[in-house]
Amino acid sequence: KNITETASTKEKSKIPEVSKVSLKTKQTYTTAHLMSKTDVAEAKKILEQFEKRERNARERAAAENELEGYAFEVSQLMEEESYMKHSTEKERNKITEQVKQIRTWLEDETTPETKTSEFTKRHMTLKGLVRPIKKRVEEEQTLAPALNNLESMLNSSKIMAKMGGDDEKSLFNKSDAEAFGKKLEKLEKWLNEEKEALAKRQPHEDPVLMTSEVNTKLKYLDRELNAFMKKMKQTRIKDVEEMLKQKEEDKEQKNEESKEGGKKDEEKSKKEEEKKEDKASRSEEQKEQEKANETPKEKMTEEVVNDTKNKADKVEL
Are 60 and 115 within 8 A, CB to CB?
yes
The yes-or-no verdict on residue 317 having pLDDT over 60 is no
Q: What is the pLDDT of residue 295?
A: 45
For range 197-226, the mean pLDDT: 93
The yes-or-no verdict on residue 174 having pLDDT over 50 is yes
Q: How confident is the model at residue 49 (pLDDT cuts 50, 70, 90)?
A: confident
Q: How far is CA 246 from CA 149, 242, 253, in A?
A: 29, 6, 10
pLDDT in tens, 158-173: 988 888 776 767 788 8
Largest CA distance in the chain: 183
Q: What is the pLDDT of residue 124?
A: 96
pLDDT in tens, 255-295: 777 777 666 667 777 777 777 777 666 666 665 665 555 44
Angle made by CA atoms 186, 175, 232, in degrees to the nearest 5: 100
Q: How confident is the model at residue 299 (pLDDT cuts 50, 70, 90)?
A: very low
**What's the chain's length in residues?**
317
Q: pTM to 2 decimals? A: 0.58
CB neighbours of 185 closer than 8 A, spacing ≥ 6? none
pLDDT in tens, 180-209: 999 999 999 999 999 999 999 999 999 999
Q: What is the pLDDT of residue 103?
A: 94
